[in-house]
Amino acid sequence: MYTISQLFIYPVKSLGGLEVTSAQLTNRGFQNDRRFMLVDSSNNFITQREYPVMSLLQTAIEDNELVIFHKNNIADKVAVPLHPAPGPTTKVKVWDDDCAAQYVSDSADEWLSSKLSILCRLVYMPDSEKRLVDIRYADNKEITSFSDGYPLLMIGQASLDDLNNRLAEPLPVDRFRPNIVFIGGAPYDEDIMEHFLINDIDMYGVKLCARCTIPTINQTNASRAKEPLKTLAGYRMTNNKIYFGQNILFKQTGWLKPGDTIKIIKNKAAVLFNC
């Protein structure tokens, strides 16, 4: 039996996320997940890939505010409305997608630019923006927010345990930024989950997650190393890409919480790696 063990949201793309005791699944993913993003002076998205120091900025939700603070000084913070009032939009770039977004706060922009030593601005995706997932994997014109491409990422605890057994120093799950972590089953069972149910919500594993360099960044001090990609490349690589975790789409909305069971409806063939 598979059971949800942890749930995470990431209010600002590529900043620190937070574990939640329940998550509301909306049409674009978990509520408040990656509705905010940082962009540079050209309105291109920025992430820890280029600026590892972003890992030191933590997010929290307090009442109706999004709070961003520095992990080394929790009193050093800035707050903005969690749901900014509708206003003028601008075009921002996320990978190959042009999205409509609102600028949020000049004071927040100044604070963030100071902490990251780069001119940047905080933007918010309004409800009116419908960013489509990759049509090659979509089933019904599903949408997402400022995620890399899909509304949910799921990883099995057994998969992380298997990886950690191969590493000299075990890594926490925050290196991989999942939305759903589950217990039960064998390592990498998420690879073959094609159709499953959680609380009568139909979910579909549509694409394994190709990993970038973010898992190599220590989320507590922003240092970068070779692991875990070096080890993963030895047994989770195919077509020159390293995979860990499964991208998920879904049909209905609802609530998820730790302890919810995952009922498998259909599995698919496993991917052949290192070939």
| Distance set, CA 153 to CA 17, 70, 96, 230 (Å) | 13, 26, 20, 22
Residues 85-105: tens digit of each pLDDT: 999 999 999 999 999 999 999
Give kind and range of the element (H or E) at residue 143: strand 143-144
The C-alpha angle 202, 207, 237, rounded to 5 degrees, equals 145
Q: Report the SS3 class of residue 141.
A: coil
Residues 262-273: tens digit of each pLDDT: 999 999 999 999
Residues 17-64: tens digit of each pLDDT: 999 999 999 999 999 999 999 999 999 999 999 999 999 999 999 999
- What pLDDT sits at residue 257? 98
Pair 231, 167: CB distance under 8 Å: yes
Residues written for the chain: 275
Backbone angle region of 137, left / alpha / beta, with phi > 0 → left and psi within -120 to 50 → alpha: alpha
Q: The tokens 């995979």 sit on which residue?
A: 243
Q: What is the DSSP-derived secondary structure letter of residue 257? A: -
Spell out the domains of the chain, with CATH numbers in brackets. 2-25+133-267 (2.40.33.20), 30-130 (no CATH)
Phi and psi dihedrals of 107, rounded to 5?
-70, -35
Residues 208-255: tens digit of each pLDDT: 999 999 999 999 999 999 999 999 999 999 999 999 999 999 999 999
